[in-house]
Structure 1
Amino acid sequence: MDAPLLDDAGIAAEAARLTPGLVDDVVRLSRIPSVATDGFPVGPLHEAHDVAVDMLRAAGVQEISQIMLDGMTTPTIVADVAGPPGAPTVLVYTHYDVVPAGDDALWSSPPFEPVVVDGTVVGRGTADSKANIAAIAGAIRVWGARPPVTLRIILEGHEEFGSSYELHPLTSPDTYRADAMVIADVGNVRPGQPTLTIGLRGSVSVTVEAHTLGTDKHSGQFGGAAPDARTALIRALATLHDDAGDVVVPGLLREPWTGASYTQDEFRDLADVLPGVPLVGTGDLGSRIWSGPAITVIGFDAPPTTAPLNAVASSARAVLNLRVHPGQKAAEAGEALGAHLRAQRPFGIPLEVTVGEAGDGFLAKTGGPAWHAAERALSIAWDGAPVDTLAMGGSIPIVMAFDEAVPQAEKLLFGATDGYCNIHAPNERLLIDELTRTVVAMAIFWREVATALDTTDEEA
């Protein structure tokens, strides 16, 4: 006999009862420096993997396997929980690896010694994304490991720095076959405002070089007539933006943003903009950071100011990061930037331009049955507040892979990682209330989508 469907109050009460234990789980998991990149030990990654598996097993999950591909140092966890016959399948994804802590001196407490204080958990990985592992396990516990949908849970160990796993959905789409997907690597625009993320900008790398002399030459003897490669390159880079800071490269898509956004003051605070320094660009803030392009110089070859050289540079090179509107192909945008730079002739000097790795963005399809189920679930979890939409300036490559591999599945992006969590920064923190409400939202979503996507009649 199928388990009875829990009502809203029952789900909320059970989530509240489970919260202290879930916080303990977040603390336990966040003590592990599970960084998946060169220069960091692999032991903590395996330890985090094992703790995540323990959390799922403690929640009642019995079927747990793994995916291990060439180039991966730790496996992706694949867990299955059967729902009632004919129930739709929901895939739920997040990750157990983290970014490095950075400078420990900038933290209020040691980054891998999580501190619970004033309704928060402070520590690296607490929000991104170990809280979401706890939320998934918590929602399974709410349903007593007998959810109203069939679950496939994917917990990755290489999300932050990438691996061969990103290609796996494209080569093995049946592994990810589902009616709906929840990507729990995001959260609300601000605490207390339920939010569904619908857009992720794409990204492409572009390298531009100037070559002017056979070798560097003394600036006193030759400066003034010998062409300095760095000056030429700086002049070319200055053509990418107008005086207000808007990107002016032809062919890059920008549209107004109509969903939730930050106020100017909120954004200044979140970005840590110094007093008296203006924001760049014009128009609505969302179109500048989510539905429009951004070009950042992320590398420039030059002597450091601590060791300057009195020389005319014979060559110069810069690496640019271009963030792309979610609906524009990243390679297309990269070629537009490349064409613009190749057309520049600073002081008559030609430039060499290489368009590098490109990753497409993601634009969710809204308005389907799973979408409306998620709207209802988030609104209920946050006491009836209306659900808003959000985009992200960053990329989550696995989402694009899921969308290409299983295009028919609706993709819903929500979780416990609110916009003030300081992910990838010092003093990353999780709000315990957001964790509890995410458990409620996840559990209610499974109930709502079970009704919205019931396939029993189709199979009868």
Structure 2
Amino acid sequence: MSTDLVASLTTRTEAAFPRVVDDLVDLVRIPSVSAPAFDQAYVRASADAVAALLGELGLAVEILSVPGGAPAVVAHHDAGDEAPHVVLYAHHDVQPPGEGWTSPPFEPRRDGERLYGRGAADDKAGVMAHVGALRVLREEYGDDLPVSVTVFVEGEEEIGSPTFGAFLAAHGHRVAGDVIVVADSANWKVGTPALTTSLRGLVDLTVRLDVLDHAVHSGMFGGPVLDALTLTARLVATLHDDDGSVAVAGLVHGSAAELDYPEEMYREEAGVLDGVVLAGRGTIQDRLWAQPAIALIGLDAPSVEHASNTIRHTATAKISMRLAPGQDPLAAQEALVAHLEANAPFGAHLTITPGERGSAFLAPSDSPAMTLARSAFAAAWGTEPVDVGMGGSIPFIADLLELAPQAEILITGVEDPDSRAHSTDESVDLHELQRAVLAEVLLLASLRP
């Protein structure tokens, strides 16, 4: 790509960016929480807003769904048979807001170069990275875009994309391409871009533990039988060794690529309290990207405020397990179930209900699209990108690869370690978002044959 073209695209990106921020603010104001307990009318309103942004660019836009699924936006521009076909993925649904925000989560607040609000980073900034890039390319090329483009903005990623398989079965021909850019990851740090080359997989399940056929008075009956919550705690404790390593037998454990990731950096980014000892073995990146991890993410129990002197007869817990690349999700789920059944304390009765199951991902680091992406990121940030793994999971990528096995998948993002996705005071660094827009502009322009 010529120096003059890079300069022109950079200038156009700078000029277009204030509107990108304004539109991001408008999207964040829509509380598009896809969890079933929340009003799904807002998810539809969010899809409508994204469709309007893409329609303004002259793309052919549809809002599609399958029975039981959330609305997804699919927009397309055809650049002809000779042009490569690029799919730009993001999602417009968000996590529940949670408690403890310093400002209302759906009233965006700008503080310096950070924009705060639920979805400001994950993943409405990803949506706007795509919209902003296409605006710049329209300015530069008019109707003669360098590539055919399909923008696919999903509406249920934050609940595990439960109808994604059905959606692809019904509409997969609309979202298959040669290169798929997934804007739902994070950069290494502010000022240093990253390309995500591995993702952990995921399985989760609920386990109900029963010890009595009804609750009883703790004074009259306490002692010979332990309550269900105490036994659940004992069961969950068997999932880790004394040093915090996962104790479930038969799981894949790998090693991550070498990268300077000191413990102090992790502790600061994660907000680990002084004196708390880190769990597991191996380097920080091994434990984050290439080894399994288990967390108790939900527990049905009386609140302290509503506690009574009663022996609980039943308890239900939700357990989430991240999987190393190379791990078969079904085999991992079966190993977890076998461990729980073998360790049921004091003969408690277990009822295990499998939940979500998603595959890990490992990308080649030297594909043609990856090489172009490295150049685009280096030009946008002024520094070379690093390859990173991601402790989180994006299970639908396996479905996309099954649909289009020849496709090159690039996992990018606009988040940074301070973005706090899924947590309180989620935010995006606007300088990073502008660089992400420019990087995508340069990538798409460089794909022109």
Q: Given the alignment, which residue of 123, 136, 140 partners 2:117? A: 123
- In structure 2, relative to structure 1, the CA distance for the partners of 1:316 and 1:135 (3 Å cut) is closer
CA distance in 2, matches of 1:97, 1:345: 38
Equivalent in 27, 46, 49 of residue 48 of structure 1: 46
Correspondence list, 1:36-185, <5 A: 36-58=34-56, 60-73=57-70, 75-83=71-79, 85-103=81-99, 106-144=100-138, 145=142, 146-161=144-159, 162-185=161-184
Deviates most, 184-193 or 313-322? 313-322
Describe the shift of the 1:166–1:262 C-alpha distance in structure 2 as closer, same or farther (beyond 3 A).
Answer: farther
- Displacement of 1:237: 2.5
**Partner of residue 241, structure 1:** 240
Question: Is residue 392 from structure 1 mapped to residue 386 from structure 2 by the alignment?
Answer: no
- Name the % identity: 37
Provide closer, same or farther for how the CA distance between residues 206 and 55 of structure 1 changes in structure 2, counting only shifts above 3 A.
Answer: closer
AA aligned opposite 2:152: I
Residue 289 in structure 1 maps to residue 283 in structure 2: no
2:19 is equivalent to residue 16 of structure 1: no
Distance (Å, rounded) in 1 between the aligned partners of 2:46 and 2:219: 58
Shift of 1:196: 0.7
Q: Secondary structure at the match of 2:43?
A: helix
Q: Segments of 4+ in structure 1 off by > 6 A?
A: none
Q: Give the CA deviation at 1:345.
A: 5.4
Alpha-carbon deviations, 1:380-431, whole Å to 9, x = none? 1111x22212222222233222122112101101122223212222222221
For the residues of structure 2 that align with 1:301 and 1:36, how far apart are their CA atoms? 21
Instruction: Tell me, yes or no, if the aligned pair for 1:344 and 1:350 is still in contact at 8 Å.
Output: no
Partner residue, 1:29 = 27
Map of 2:366 onto structure 1? 367
Separation in 2 of the partners of 1:197 and 1:259? 14
Q: Which residue of 2 aligns with 1:263?
A: 262
Structure 2 unaligned regions, length at least 5 = none
Distance 1:191 1:402, change over 3 A: same
Distance, in Å, in 1 between the alignment partners of 2:389 and 2:120 is: 22
Q: Say if 2:65 and 2:167, in contact at 8 Å, map to a contact too.
A: no
1:165-244 matches, within 5 Å, as 165-220=164-219, 222-226=221-225, 228-244=227-243
C-alpha change, 1:57 and 1:315, in structure 2 (3 Å) is closer
Give the Cα separation in 2 of the matches to 1:68 and 1:229: 41
Report if aligned partners of 2:198, 2:325 keep a CA contact under 8 Å in 1: yes
TM-score normalised by length of structure 2: 0.89
Give, as a single letter, the amino acid of the residue that structure 2 aligns with 1:176: V
The aligned length equals 444
Q: What SS is found at the alignment partner of 1:77?
A: strand
The answer to whether the 8 Å contact 1:98/1:128 transfers is yes
Name the TM-score, length of structure 1 as normaliser.
0.87
Q: Which amino acid is the alignment partner of residue 277 of structure 1?
A: V
CA contact (8 A) 2:61 2:73 kept: yes
Q: Which of 412, 415, 423 is residue 413 of structure 2 equivalent to?
A: 415
What SS does the corresponding residue of 1:240 show, helix, strand or coil? coil
Task: Check the 8 A contact 1:92/1:152 in 2, yes or no.
Answer: yes
The offset of 1:80, in angstroms, is: 1.4
Letter in structure 2 aligned against 1:421: S
Equivalent position SS for 1:78: strand
Q: What is the deviation of 1:347?
A: 4.3
Contact 1:199 1:362 in 2 (8 A): yes
Contact 2:47 2:63 in 1 (8 A): no
Aligned-pair CA distance for 1:361? 2.5
**Shift in CA distance, 63/336, structure 1 to aligned 2, threshold 3 Å:** same
Structure 1 Cα separation of the partners of residues 4 and 83 of structure 2:
16
Shifted more, 223-232 versus 338-347: the winner is 223-232
Distance 1:376 1:364 in 2: 17
> Equivalent residue for 1:457?
none
TM-superposition CA deviations, 1:276-321 (whole Å, max 9, x none): 2222222211222221111112233444434445455544443311
Alignment match, 2:380 = 381
Three-state SS of the structure 1 residue aligned to 2:399 is helix
1:89 aligned partner, one-letter code: H
